[in-house]
């Protein structure tokens, strides 16, 4: 499975008979928007209302459906995983109907991209729930992860690496914002929803130096080494294997430390490690989102996970039942990333694809106030 850098964007269909339909009603600032992310491991949805240069969440949903279970061996989505996913999507459909949401973007990612029956499953979802999900390309997934993290970018940052560790793949985007005025840096990154190669005229452009989609996430990497019984050996092999898959990514070639370089990590792995570092007894997004961690702090948490062993990790409330089987593969990815790049700090983002989908929709509709996002 080679890393991907596909190009291109889907064109919007235009109404060929405008006289038969009323003119589209422009969105109001009170309009509700929805974003749904069907990933390899989880089904997650946010319903939000635009507020200033951001949004206010009015309803949400998150469920571990393990859609990619068995995919590595069979190349197909299993009957059990599809049944779990449909059950979760029916709940999402009910929430959308209850909130009378008209503007929404519902997407599926790596598991459905790779599965031989992925498109067939999308048709079944529509048939049984009425929801239309798009299987998005890795490039769009990477764009959306970048957009969601824009508010966390420091004004001192000149080179930014955004890392989104998913269930089936990991997206990495390196962005050069050194030519952008400090006050405009977050906003220039936000504008990347128009495409990695599209020039922006009213705001100095953030330049995407390189990006990659590695077909290894917390679930797929775990499955690659499921036959290794020793816990520490399995972790070491996973971390080495992920690093090997980064060999062609441009920043990987840079051995010299760079000033004003920031890594922003978004994923359940990153937020779980952050919560463990803080010693939280109950997860608190306000304490985790935007936290800065050093490589030494991350390594200390990972070593504590290894010392716990599988039984200890299952019992640790900070890790949780849904994530305990995936935390070490995610930690292996995180450790490999911190080993490779010229910084010893990671900014933690409790945000991702859903937030990127919401920002992109609201920005395109013009309902967000101009500001430093």
**pLDDT bracket for residue 29 (50, 70, 90):** low
What is the architecture of the domain spanning 26-136?
A: 2-Layer Sandwich (3.30)
Query: Using an 8 Å Cβ cutoff, are 137 and 6 in contact?
Result: yes
Q: What is the Cα–Cα distance from 223 to 213, expressed in whole angstroms?
A: 18
Chain-centre distance for alpha carbon 7: 19
Tokens found for residue 130? 């009425």
Phi-psi region of 126 (alpha: psi -120 to 50; beta: other; left: phi over 0): alpha
Do strands 170-176 and 207-214 pair parallel, antiparallel, or not at all (unpaired)?
antiparallel
Mean local confidence (pLDDT), 121-141: 96
Q: What is the Cα–Cα distance from 212 to 19, expressed in whole angstroms?
A: 44
**pLDDT bracket for residue 18 (50, 70, 90):** very low
Q: What is the Cα–Cα distance from 158 to 359, expressed in whole angstroms?
A: 23
Q: Under CATH, to which class is 140-353 assigned?
A: alpha beta
Q: What is the DSSP string of 264-302?
A: EEESHHHHHHHHHHHT-SS--HHHHTT-EEEHHHHHHHH
Looking at the chain, the whole-number percentage of residues with pLDDT higher than 70 is 85
- Buried b or exposed e, range 17-28, using 16+ CB within 10 angstroms: eeeeeeeeeebe
Query: Using an 8 Å Cβ cutoff, are 307 and 316 in contact?
Result: no
Instruction: Determine the pLDDT at residue 23.
Output: 46
pLDDT tens digits, 213-223:
999 999 999 99
**pLDDT bracket for residue 322 (50, 70, 90):** confident
Helices 295-315 and 231-244, axial angle in degrees (round to 10): 130
Structural domain spans, the chain: 26-136, 140-353
Looking at the chain, the whole-number percentage of residues with pLDDT higher than 90 is 56
pLDDT tens digits, 245-262:
988 786 655 545 556 889
User: Is the predicted pLDDT of residue 373 greater than 60, yes or no?
Assistant: no
- Buried b or exposed e, range 138-166, using 16+ CB within 10 angstroms: bbbbbbbbbbbbbbbbeeebbbbbbbbbb
Instruction: Determine the pLDDT at residue 260.
Output: 82
Q: What is the Cα–Cα distance from 43 to 276, expressed in whole angstroms?
A: 24
Q: Rounded to whole angstroms, what are the CA distances from 255 to 156, 203, 244, 339, 340?
A: 21, 32, 16, 11, 8
Mean pLDDT, the chain, rounded, equals: 85
Q: Rounded to whole angstroms, what are the CA distances from 206 to 60, 248, 288?
A: 31, 22, 26
Query: Using an 8 Å Cβ cutoff, are 368 and 362 in contact?
Result: yes
Order of strands across the sheet that contains 103-108: 54-64, 42-51, 33-38, 103-108, 134-135
Q: Report the alpha-carbon angle 116-121-127, nearest 5.
A: 155
User: Which phi and psi angles does 235 have, rounded to 5°?
Assistant: -60, -45
Tokens found for residue 301? 């948490």
User: Is the predicted pLDDT of residue 330 greater than 80, yes or no?
Assistant: yes
User: Is the predicted pLDDT of residue 225 greater than 80, yes or no?
Assistant: yes
Q: What is the Cα–Cα distance from 209 to 218, expressed in whole angstroms?
A: 26
């Amino acid at each position: 499975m080679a890393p991907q850098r596909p190009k291109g964007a889907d064109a919007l269909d235009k109404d060929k008979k405008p006289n038969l339909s009323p003119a589209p009603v422009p969105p109001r600032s009170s309009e509700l928007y929805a974003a749904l992310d069907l990933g390899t491991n989880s089904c997650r949805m946010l319903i939000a209302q635009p507020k200033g240069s951001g949004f206010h969440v009015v309803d949400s949903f998150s469920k571990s459906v393990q859609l990619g279970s068995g995919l590595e061996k069979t190349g197909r989505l299993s009957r059990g995983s599809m049944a779990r996913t449909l059950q979760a999507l029916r709940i999402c459909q009910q929430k959308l109907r209850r909130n009378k949401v008209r503007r929404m973007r519902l997407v599926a990612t790596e598991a459905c991209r790779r599965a031989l029956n992925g498109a067939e499953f999308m048709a079944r979802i529509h048939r049984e729930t009425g929801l239309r999900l798009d299987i998005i390309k890795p490039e769009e997934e990477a764009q959306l992860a970048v957009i969601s993290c824009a508010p966390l970018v420091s004004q001192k940052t000149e080179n930014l690496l955004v890392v989104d560790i998913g269930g089936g793949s990991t997206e990495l985007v390196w962005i050069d914002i050194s030519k952008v005025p400090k006050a405009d840096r977050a906003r220039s990154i936000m504008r990347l929803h128009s495409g990695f190669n599209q020039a922006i005229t009213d705001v100095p452009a953030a330049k995407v130096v390189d990006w990659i989609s590695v077909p290894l996430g917390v679930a797929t990497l775990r499955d690659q080494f499921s036959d290794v019984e020793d816990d520490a050996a399995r972790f070491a092999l996973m971390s080495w294997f992920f690093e090997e898959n980064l060999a062609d990514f441009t920043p990987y070639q840079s051995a010299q430390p760079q000033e004003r370089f920031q890594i922003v990590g978004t994923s359940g792995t990153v937020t779980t490690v952050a919560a463990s570092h803080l010693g939280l007894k109950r997860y608190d997004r306000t304490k985790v989102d935007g936290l800065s961690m050093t490589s030494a702090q991350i390594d200390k948490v990972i070593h504590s996970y290894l010392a716990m062993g599988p039984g200890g990790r299952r019992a640790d409330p900070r890790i949780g039942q849904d994530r305990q089987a995936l935390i070490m593969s995610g930690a292996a990815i995180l450790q490999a990333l911190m080993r490779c790049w010229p910084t010893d700090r990671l900014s933690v983002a409790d945000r991702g694809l859903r937030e990127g989908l919401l920002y992109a929709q609201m920005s395109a509709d013009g309902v967000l106030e101009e500001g430093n996002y």
